[in-house]
Structure 1
Amino acid sequence: MQLINSTLLNEVTKQAQESPRLRMNCNFHDSLDAKAQRLLNALEPGTILPIHRHPHTAETYLLLRGKIRVMFYNDKKEETESTLLDPLVGSFGVHIPANQWHTLEVLDSGSVLFEVKDGPYTPLRENDLLK
C-alpha cells in the first residue's frame, strides 16, 4: 500500500523543485509495460512541457493541489481551448482524448497532478510533438 497524502506530495514536490526539469513523477505502476500508467506528477512554474499528443491513448489529469492551465491546439499550432484547473474553486481535472494536441502551464508552486493513461509507456515520437 502507498498512501497518497500531504507527506508524499511534499516529497515529490521537493524532488521537482530540485530537478532541472522542474517536475518529478512518482509512479504507481509496476513497470513501463503495465497496461495502466498511474502516477503523480509534481510540477513547478517554469517547467517546459512541449505541445504533444498521445496517438494511442487518452489521458486523464486530476489536480490534487495547486493551479494549472491546460491548453488544447489544432494541427496549425493554434490554441483552440484552455481550461484552468484549481481544486479550491471546484475545477479538479480534465480528460484528454487520444490524438489531441495539448500542453500545460503551471501557475502555482507545489502543483501535483494524478495522471492516468493506457500503457505500455511509449516515449513521444517526433511526429507527436507540435513544432
Structure 2
Amino acid sequence: MPGKHRVRLAISPVQGYHVMMSDIDKKYPLALEPPSGDVVPITLEMVSELLRLSRESPRKRMIQPLHKHDGESLHRMFNALQPGTYIPPHRHRNPDKSETVLVISGGMLFIEFDETGNVTSHLIVQPGTAVFGVDVAPGVYHTFFAFKPDTLLFEVKDGPYSRTDDKDIPEWAPAEGTPEAVEYLVDLIKGIMSEQAEPEVEQPS
C-alpha cells in the first residue's frame, strides 16, 4: 500500500481546544473572505498570511477560498493546517460531491473509512514524493491530518456549499471542539501507525 514507510507523526497537545465553538467562530472564522477581481494573483504573501492565521486559530486551521460565493458549482481553496487540528470524518452531500486535494507544503495523512467507522485505507501525502495528492469520489467517508507544521493544501470540490449540511458526519465520529475528539484523533493515528514498521508517535503532553 502507498504510504507504507516510516514517518514521524506529531500529535500536538490541543490545550483549550474544547471551548465553545460559537466563541471560536466570532474571533477565528473557519474561512477568510475570497479575494476580489476576475484575475487573482496567487502569491506567497497570501499563503504565508493564511499559514500565520492557522497557527493562531484554536482550530489550528484556516481556509482561503478563491471562489466568490458558496453557490458556485466549482469550489477552489487553500487550506492551511497545523498538527493537532481535528476534521471529523465526513463525506460531502446535498448533492454528493467529489474532491481533489494537492499538498503544497508540509505533510498530510489521508484516511478512508467504511460506513461503520473502520479504517479501510490510508495514504501519506507529501509534495515531492510519489503521492502528492488524492482524488476522492462522492460518498466516501474520509478525513485528513497534518503531521508537519504549516501544511498547505489546495482543494477543489464540487459546489454548492451549505455549512449546515455540506458535511455528512456519522454518529461514530466525535464532534469538533469536544474532549472526545482529541482522544479519538490520538487513537486513530496510533492505530494506523501501529501497522507500520517502527512507528514514532508523539503523545499529547
- Per the normalisation by structure 2, the TM-score is 0.60
Deviations 1:59-88 (A, max 9, x none): 110111110000000011000000011113
Please state how far the C-alpha of 1:13 moved relative to its aligned partner: 0.3
Deviating beyond 4 angstroms after TM superposition, the runs of 4 or more aligned structure 1 residues are none
For the Cα contact (< 8 Å) 1:26–1:40, is it kept in 2?
Answer: yes
Please state how far the C-alpha of 1:45 moved relative to its aligned partner: 0.5
Write the letter of the residue equivalent to 1:89: T
Q: 1:105 to 1:74 in 2, by over 3 A?
A: same
Task: Give the one of 75, 99, 104 matched to 2:115.
Answer: 75
Partner of 2:57: 19
Please state how far the C-alpha of 1:92 moved relative to its aligned partner: 1.4
Task: Give the one of 125, 136, 146 matched to 1:85.
Answer: 125
Deviations 1:31-80 (A, max 9, x none): 01111110000001011100000131101101111100000000110000
Aligned partner of residue 92 in structure 2, secondary structure: coil
Partner of 2:79: 41
Aligned partner of residue 2 in structure 1, secondary structure: coil
Please state how far the C-alpha of 1:106 moved relative to its aligned partner: 0.7
1:94 paired to 2:134:
yes
For the Cα contact (< 8 Å) 2:92–2:167, is it kept in 1?
Answer: no
For the Cα contact (< 8 Å) 2:91–2:167, is it kept in 1?
Answer: no
* Bigger CA radius of gyration: 2
1:7 paired to 2:31:
no
CA distance in 2, matches of 1:29, 1:95: 19
CA distance in 2, matches of 1:102, 1:4: 28
CA distance in 2, matches of 1:127, 1:53: 6
- Per the normalisation by structure 1, the TM-score is 0.93
Q: 1:74 to 1:18 in 2, by over 3 A?
A: same
Where structure 1 has 5 or more consecutive residues not aligned to the other structure, the ranges are none
Between Structure 1 and Structure 2, how many residues are aligned? 131
CA distance in 2, matches of 1:64, 1:2: 18
Please state how far the C-alpha of 1:105 moved relative to its aligned partner: 1.2
Partner of 2:144: 104
Q: By percentage of residues, which structure has more strand?
A: 1
Partner of 1:29: 67
